[in-house]
């Protein structure tokens, strides 16, 4: 039995079958992106062990497939087992050993990248300083209270824990948060005129819920769209419940609140739009055990032990083509008190900054001209990538290349010597 299993794991047939399935999965997963969206398709087809039915040109096909994780793991096991099984330490096979080692490194490196890498965005206007970057997709519910004169204590609850009915507690919170509703996506907030009992009862009479109507919306997978969640929360203190609040993702998600402001300005004029925006972004607070907590549902943050200040944005286009960007670059200042570091760096297309295990890529920009049109300051967005396994593809490819060259040379030298002998 063990022998049979070992034989199977080391067989070339298994390699061929797995590669064939991989080709099918890559094809189906790529086609499915049109229906399911890039992130959803990547997650469902390549980041799962099994795919429970797939979408093919708009049709749902109820056929299970092995997922990317399963195929990758089996390929890795197959390759490693075959290598061990057929391993012979002779110089003549050095090239083959190196090539196998390189392929194993590529597979493991890709797996590590997939599991450990994180992509976030650092978004700031000129003159602003950031010590954090934020997720483009995930949100967190935060409760913030004063710790001392200069610092604040933050309790962050990831979006994944905000399931309807969940009761969330933490030692730093003198209350329980009961999740009454959680909508992964919501429609644009609808303004209710102040001091009015608008059509239908408001979701709550506390905070932002008194001024805006919020409604759930179908989750979107489109690349040019975004899911903006809304949580309806009841706070429960030892003395009872002070009430229910709405925590909308629209408030502290800068691109979304900026989008709302632009749409409202178009629809209602600047004055009313600014007024509505001020009402939407007014901090919501609750008091418990003598402490005041400000709360909001914001894009999940990752903090850095250093600060980045956006000093200057430069956005140039080709002459006569104002729609075609030629170059956009951000001049930033890095300050790291722990290392006594304070320097300026330019980040531009194909010239990322690598610092403290992070890579900062130039991602988006609102240049001076567009900012002036919108009545905003010029701003920039840097893609911040943490990928501990970033070196493995480079190392893997070099090892495979060296292995192939060595193997070729061994054969070439052998061939030439044979001809000389003949």
Partner 1 sequence: MLLALIPFLLAGCDRPEIRSYRVAKETSSSPVTWAKLPDGWAVTENSRMSVAAFLVGGEGGQTAEITATPLPPLGGRETDIVNMWRQQVGQPALGDDEAAKQLQPVAIGGEEGQLFEISSSPTNSEPTRIVTAMLHRKSASWFFKLSGDPAVVDAQKPAFVEFLKTVRVNDAALAGAAHSMAARAPAPHSAPPPPQNFKWKVPEGWQPAAPGPMQNAKFSVPASGGAAEVSVSIFPSDTGGTLANVNRWRGQIGLGAATESDLASLVTPLTASPGALLVDMANNGRQFIGAIVPRGGQWYFYKLLGEAAAVAPQKEKFVEFVKSEP
397 lies in the binding site for partner 1 (CB under 8 A):
no
Is residue 283 near partner 1 by the rule CB under 8 A?
Answer: yes
Select 171 or 224, whichever has its Cβ closest to partner 1. Answer: 171
Closest CA to 352 of 385, 317, 392, 314: 385
CB 229 within 8 A of CB 297: yes
Q: Which residue has the tokens 């004055």?
A: 271
* Residue 194 binding partner 1, by CB under 8 A: yes
Neighbours of 365 (CB within 10 A): 20
191 belongs to the binding site for partner 1 (CB under 8 A): yes
Give, as one character, the DSSP assignment of residue 281: H
Contact between 369 and partner 1 by CB under 8 A: the answer reads no
According to DSSP, residue 53 is labeled S
Token match 């994944």: residue? 160
Decide: is 196 part of the binding site for partner 1 (CB under 8 A): yes
291: left (phi over 0), alpha (psi -120 to 50) or beta: beta
The helix/strand/coil state of 55 is strand
* 80 vs 314 by CB, closer to partner 1: 80
Binding window for partner 1 (CB under 8 A); candidates: 285-293, 346-354, 356-364, 395-403: 285-293
CB of 92 vs partner 1, minimal distance in Å: 25
Beta bridge mates, 140 = 158, 298
- d(CA 18, CA 30) in angstroms, rounded, equals 18
Residue 372 beta carbon to partner 1: minimum distance, rounded to whole angstroms: 10
CA distance between the termini of the chain: 49
Looking at 33-41, 91-99, 273-281, 398-406, which segment touches partner 1 (CB under 8 A)?
273-281
Rounded to an integer, what distance in angstroms lies between the CA atom of residue 115 and that of residue 2? 31
The yes or no reply on residue 278 touching partner 1 (CB under 8 A) is yes
Least distance CB 361 / partner 1 (angstroms): 24
Shortest distance in whole angstroms from residue 104 CB to partner 1? 8
**How far apart, in whole angstroms, are the C-alpha atoms of residue 153 and residue 156?**
10
Nearer to partner 1, 56 or 303 (CB): 303
Q: Considering the complex, state which of residue 337 and residue 357 has its C-beta at the smaller distance from partner 1.
A: 337
Q: Which is nearer to partner 1, 181 or 274 (CB)?
A: 274
> Tokens in use for 283?
């901090």
Among 7, 86, 215, 292, binds partner 1 (CB under 8 A): 292
Q: Is 46 exposed, middle or buried (0-12, 13-18, 19+ CB in 10 A)?
A: middle
28 vs 385, beta carbon nearer partner 1: 385
Task: Kindly state the smallest distance separating residue 313's Cβ from partner 1, in Å.
Answer: 16
Which of 28-36, 143-151, 216-224, 315-323 is the region at the interface with partner 1 (rule: CB under 8 A)? 143-151
Among 154, 236, 402, 410, binds partner 1 (CB under 8 A): 154
Q: Could you tell me how many residues of this chain bind partner 1 (CB under 8 A)? A: 62
Long-range contacts of 146-154 (CB under 8 A, 24+ apart): 146/291, 146/292
| Strand-pair category, 358-366 with 353-355 | antiparallel
- Our finding on whether 163 is near partner 1 (CB under 8 A) is no
List interacting residues with partner 1 (CB under 8 A): 69, 73, 76-77, 80-81, 104, 107-108, 111-112, 115-116, 125, 131, 146-147, 150-158, 160-161, 168, 170-172, 190-199, 211, 267-272, 274-275, 278-279, 281-283, 285, 287, 292, 303, 375, 377
């Amino acid at each position: 039995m063990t022998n049979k299993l070992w034989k199977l794991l080391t067989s070339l047939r298994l390699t061929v079958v797995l590669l064939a399935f991989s080709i099918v999965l890559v094809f189906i997963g790529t086609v499915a992106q049109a229906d399911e969206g890039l992130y959803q398709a990547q997650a469902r087809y390549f980041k799962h062990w099994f795919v429970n039915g797939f979408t093919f040109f708009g049709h749902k096909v109820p056929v299970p497939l092995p997922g990317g994780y399963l195929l990758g793991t089996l390929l890795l096991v197959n390759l490693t087992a075959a290598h061990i099984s057929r391993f012979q330490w002779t110089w003549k096979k050095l090239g083959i050993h190196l090539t196998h080692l390189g392929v194993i490194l590529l597979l493991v490196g890709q797996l590590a990248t997939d599991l450990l890498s994180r992509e976030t965005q650092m978004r700031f206007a000129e003159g602003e300083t950031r010590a954090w970057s934020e997720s483009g997709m995930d949100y967190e519910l935060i409760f913030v209270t004063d710790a001392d004169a200069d610092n604040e204590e933050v309790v962050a609850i990831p979006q994944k824990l905000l399931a309807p009915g969940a009761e969330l507690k933490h030692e730093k919170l003198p209350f329980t948060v009961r999740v009454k509703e959680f909508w992964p996506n919501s429609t644009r907030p609808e303004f209710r005129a102040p001091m009015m009992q608008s059509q239908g009862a408001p979701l709550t009479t506390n905070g932002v819920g008194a001024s805006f109507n919020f409604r759930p919306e179908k989750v979107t997978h489109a690349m040019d769209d975004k899911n903006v969640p809304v949580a309806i929360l009841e706070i429960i203190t030892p003395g009872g419940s002070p009430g229910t609040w709405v925590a909308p993702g629209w408030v502290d998600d800068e691109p979304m609140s900026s989008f709302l402001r632009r749409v409202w300005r178009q629809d209602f004029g600047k004055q009313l739009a600014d007024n509505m925006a001020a009402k939407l972004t007014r901090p919501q607070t609750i008091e418990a055990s003598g402490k005041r907590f400000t709360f909001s549902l914001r894009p999940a943050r990752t903090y850095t032990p250093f600060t980045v200040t956006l000093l200057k944005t430069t956005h140039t286009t080709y002459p006569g083509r104002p729609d075609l960007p030629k170059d956009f670059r951000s001049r930033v200042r890095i300050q790291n008190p722990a290392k006594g570091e304070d320097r300026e760096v330019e980040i531009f297309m194909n010239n990322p900054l690598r610092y403290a295990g992070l890579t900062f890529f130039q991602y988006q920009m609102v240049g001076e001209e567009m900012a002036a049109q919108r009545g905003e300051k010029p701003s920039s967005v840097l893609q911040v990538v943490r990928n501990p396994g970033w070196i493995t593809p480079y190392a893997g490819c070099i090892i495979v290349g060296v292995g192939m060259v060595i193997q070729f040379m061994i054969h070439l030298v052998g061939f030439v010597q044979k001809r000389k002998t003949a």
